[in-house]
Structure 1
Amino acid sequence: MLAAVAFANLIVAAMQFGLGAAAPALRSDLGLTTLQLGFVLAGAPAGLMLGTYGWGVLADHTSERRVLTAAFVGFAAAALASAWAAHDQPVALLTLLLLITNAFGSATHSAGGRAISAVFPQRRHGTVLSIRHTAIPIGGFVGGLAVPAAVAGASLAWALVGFAALGLVVALALWLTLAHVEVVQRAVTTAPLPRGRSPLHRPVLWLLAIGCSSVAFVQLGIASFLTIQLVDDGGLTLSRAALVFAAAQLVGAAGRVALGIWSDRVRDRLALLRGVFAGVFVLVVGAVLVTNPSVDGVLLTLILVLSTTWQGVGVAAAASLAPEGRTGSTLGMQTTLNAAAFTIAPIVIAFVLHHGGWTAVELVLGGMVLVAVASLTLARVRRDAPSSAVNAAASE
């Protein structure tokens, strides 16, 4: 079951990050400006933003198996429609269909996370959710190599046809593997579980989500334009830049598992997240200060690596703070804010890059990381306050 949900995450991430890795080719093939490219790349995360909370609420009230299977059948159909739109159709239509495709794929973040957190004990959430979320940078690695190669060797349309086929494979795998989970849950459940209040009423969850989404902005802001920096300023070929991008995703994946295991030992996941975000800030400051484009490219790559490591721990922290019976909607809430950051990041970074260059971009990234560190600090204060404990008990 964990493997099937992780595979679903991998496919969705491969599309999102693969399009970013192929950005130079898409810019030339579609005849786009950098700002127009930012809007196209925002289509995929916009779909995640619009879909994930709804899938989580639906999973809280019905079967994860049905939700995930239906979602990935829809993912496959929408990806096929996107392939059609990639053939001389308006760019706005392609962007819309990419949004719809990823709105279906977003179910894996909330409904998939709910399925995993229900099966494994909380003491192992850091590890298992990090393993599941490791599929995202691995998907970035695969997509970072496969999508640029497919676009260069065939076309964007054929790359999207491949995603449609993979979506059907994912739907079948989820339907088969989650059947066992349903049987186990029916066997251990004798009465309906009480439901706590909506996670929207918990300030600590908002602070956690704001902090995580601020670093998500940094992650995708760099991921969307790193290959352009490496090609335009660093002098690399697209194939070498794509290899650097893919390697960063792979190292980030390893870091994600290591951080998840560490979080299960130290227990205080909010403090661990704050430390990671502080490390990202140090790297951003270094990028602002250097003047050599090649060194800047190295630092941006390191920022991408470190900003990729936190998501499994962030999800585990949210799951541990979720109201009773509201894990799906809690994870949906957090992923919605992350996806909102993913949506605006390519547009904002494209605008700032066009008008101010990479130093201006790095100043924006530094501001976002400061927001993240402050939010996690406040979240720890809110979590540890006596009134917070009383309110949490009352809401559950």
Structure 2
Amino acid sequence: MRFKTFHGVLGFGLALSACGTAAVPAQDKPATGAKPFDVAEVAKFETPWAMTFLPGGREALVSEKSGKLWVVSPDTGSKTAVSGVPAVKVAGQGGLGDVVVGPDNRIYLSFVEGGPDGTSGAVVGYGRLARTGATYALQDFKIVWRQSPKAEGNGHFSHRIAFGPDGAMYVTSGERQKFQPAQETTGNLGKVLRLTPEGQPFPGNPWAAKGGLQAQFYSTGHRNLLGMAFAPDGRLWEHEMGPQGGDEVNLIQPGKNYGWPVVSNGSNYGGGDIPDHPTRAEFEAPKVWWNPSISPAGLIVYTGNLFPQWKGDLLLGALSGESLIRIDVTGDKAAKAERWPMNARIREVEQGPKGEIYLLEDNGRLLRLTPA
């Protein structure tokens, strides 16, 4: 058995592989000395979850899990509530989730809706942001995609959104803490999906010929995917939480199966062993993984000029790890680099129009990072 550490516990551990040999992943140990950035508090929220800049870069949208959407000025910190946001089911990890500007400047939201008999599931929809004087409203909102099937419980919705250079909308759909749906083809849980902006299967998807929900699938075998971003070269990067250890950064490729719950570099809660990725070559292995867990959330590929040494690299937040983490990327290769302690659960990472970096903390603060 391998000895792992639960999400929420800090420190560094030794992992034993399924065949009993020791395997220690390279560690992004917390950096010592002065941070390469200055930190300024911009605004405060109650339950922030995601952030995106509006066209022009002068204002941003911030979502709160409680169901609120805000227009915020990163320069002044002023914020204005947006009316017309659809009702959401708030429980556990569920509520209002991602916010992204899509084609034709439509505002895409992901959130959780209730279903029959106490079930729930994530949905994605879009509306148009209208401004009248000093007020904002989301108009003509339309749901275009739903998780299927709806499930009991309030975890692992994932529901991150990213638009690719191919014009497709990519959506992460967690396996709702049900394990096997990640490998099943009767639902779209535990998958990365490639859809049209109207929520239909994108032409040429790997399982398009199968029809039905399978036509949505881009990759399979995922757990709880809370970060997804495209690199300038078109590669799609994603991270997800493992069980007890085994958090992953993956390079998402069409038609690949990433193994959950058959393989994982973590263990089941309570100590039950799971074979490591190398034991099953048919499953795609992560590029980077952590034991113990850091609980990744939020992800960007940095493209700005304020931190030129990070261009093309991944920046992600850590919830239980309370850190900002940089992953060095060269083409399809990735390796751990710095890990800067932030003393708070980092929920979201976003890049500003000038190359500055914004972080949302679970405790409510919006922070701006600029070079020290």
Shorter-chain TM range is under 0.3
- Structure with the higher strand share, 1 or 2: 2
Q: Which protein, 1 or 2, shows the higher relative CO under an 8 Å CA cutoff with sep ≥ 6?
A: 1
- Structure with the higher helix share, 1 or 2: 1
